[in-house]
Structure 1
Amino acid sequence: MVKQERAARTRQALVQAAAEVFAQDGFVLASLNSISRRAGVSNGALHFHFESKQALARAVEDEAAAVVRAIAAPAAGGAPNPLQRLIDATHALMGRLDRDVVVRAGFELAGGLPRRDGAVDLRGQWQGWVEEVLRDAEREGELAEGVSAADVSVTVVAATVGFELLGADDRTWTSPDTIVQFWDLLLPRLAAADGFGRLVSAGTPAAAPGRT
């Protein structure tokens, strides 16, 4: 049991170190020596857990994907309506991008070129969830007259992916204030009049788990 726990800690240290090096140097320039040094382990220990740099990148992406799933899953049952779920999830995701290098590196790796075999499409995963929750909003009559889920999906995905990309160099783009400003601008055009007043652009307590 002690050996297994030590192995798990070493593996997690390597994933964290890999994320930091990938975020700093990019996948192409990142070296396994840099990752092992940052993790405080030998090259032999690194190769025991990961056979290649590609395998390390996949581990970072997988962990980031798990965070995205966790952000979407609690929101699906925790907020009162689909639009508020979407608002809460954007706050939660941007909060994780701001402070969690594994999530940040996962998105950067997923969007990088050249594409690697087996790479996780994190932005596609996020896009799929946004489209799904907006279809729910459309079915429940939460969208304003003449506004379609497909049109809103394009806007929300483009904006949030833009915040993610810009936030890599300037964390202001992923700050709560920026996300509130975005929703304050969009919601009057997006939401049906009878539900607009119930929406909280700063997010509800349902968003809190993604921020911590």
Structure 2
Amino acid sequence: MTKQDRAVRTRRALIRSAAEQFEARGYDRASLAEISAGAGVSSGALHFHFANKAAVADAVEQAAARALRRVALAGRGGDGSALQRLVDVTHRVARLLRADVVVRAGLRLNAEATTGRAPDLRGEWRACVHGLLDEAEREGELAAGVRPHRTGAVVLAATTGIEVLARDDQGWLARPSLTDLWHLLLPCVAAPHLAGVLDPAGREPERRAQEAGAARRQTAAAPLALR
């Protein structure tokens, strides 16, 4: 491993350790000593990469922003129904939050305006939601009388509320929470021709692969006489 590779690995370890500390203890109570210890490096190594705690927090927020933007861009640039892509992107963000402590901590730090330098992640999420709803309106996917701005406010309130509640109970980020939300919202906002077409549980590749695998196992387990 080259010196540059080691430096990249150390920086990533410090960002993850910092995210774990910020999530568990909050920005004020997290210490640089705990962050360096969690990354398995010395305090000197930490200060080689980051001048102070604010710089570490900023790096966590920036890493979270990159991950969230990748998910948002995938939804904005995908194919098919804009409403379905909105459903899909909410599920993908929830899955990312479940899996990645850096994203969870970065979003929380950003909401609390800890550093003041990172981008407005909630503002970017708002733009993603409103962009997909505007597209849905242009494509005739919204029911009569449904306005993107008002629908977007409901989606933003619900998804932000789920993220905040999940800080104490990650069960809120499980697929059923968002599926239930979309079961309620889609009949109210989607045009009649989309009834029964949109999937409130999302069309994530991981889920489709799991369902296909389950179907294959069920077929393989069936008695030969039934095949």
Is the structural similarity TM-score above 0.5? yes
Distance in 2 of aligned mates of 1:194 and 1:45? 59
Asked if 2 retains the 8 angstrom alpha-carbon contact of 1:92 and 1:207, the reply is no
Pairing 1:123-202 to 2, within 5 Å after superposition: 123-202=122-201
| Alignment match, 1:117 | 116
- The amino acid across from 1:197 in the alignment is G
| 5+ long unaligned stretches in structure 1 | none
- The amino acid across from 1:190 in the alignment is V
- The amino acid across from 2:87 in the alignment is I
SS across alignment from 2:135 = helix
- The amino acid across from 1:145 in the alignment is A
SS across alignment from 2:80 = coil
SS across alignment from 1:203 = coil
Distance in 2 of aligned mates of 1:6 and 1:119? 26
- The amino acid across from 2:78 in the alignment is G
Deviation for aligned residue 1:78:
3.1
Distance in 2 of aligned mates of 1:9 and 1:86? 34
| Alignment match, 2:24 | 24
Asked if 1 retains the 8 angstrom alpha-carbon contact of 2:58 and 2:115, the reply is no
Distance in 1 of aligned mates of 2:119 and 2:58? 7
Pairing 1:37-76 to 2, within 5 Å after superposition: 37-76=37-76
Distance in 2 of aligned mates of 1:43 and 1:196? 58
Deviation for aligned residue 1:146:
0.6
1:66-92 residue CA offsets vs partner (Å, 9 max, x unmatched): 111111222233341110111000000
Asked if 1 retains the 8 angstrom alpha-carbon contact of 2:62 and 2:118, the reply is no
| Alignment match, 1:10 | 10
Asked if 2 retains the 8 angstrom alpha-carbon contact of 1:91 and 1:207, the reply is no
TM-score (normalised: structure 1): 0.93
**Cα RMSD (Å):** 1.6
- Runs (4+) off by over 4 Å: none
Deviation for aligned residue 1:93:
0.3
**Sequence identity (%):** 47
Aligned residues: 208
| Alignment match, 1:87 | 87
TM-score (normalised: structure 2): 0.87
SS across alignment from 1:144 = coil
Asked if 2 retains the 8 angstrom alpha-carbon contact of 1:58 and 1:120, the reply is no
Distance in 2 of aligned mates of 1:55 and 1:63? 12
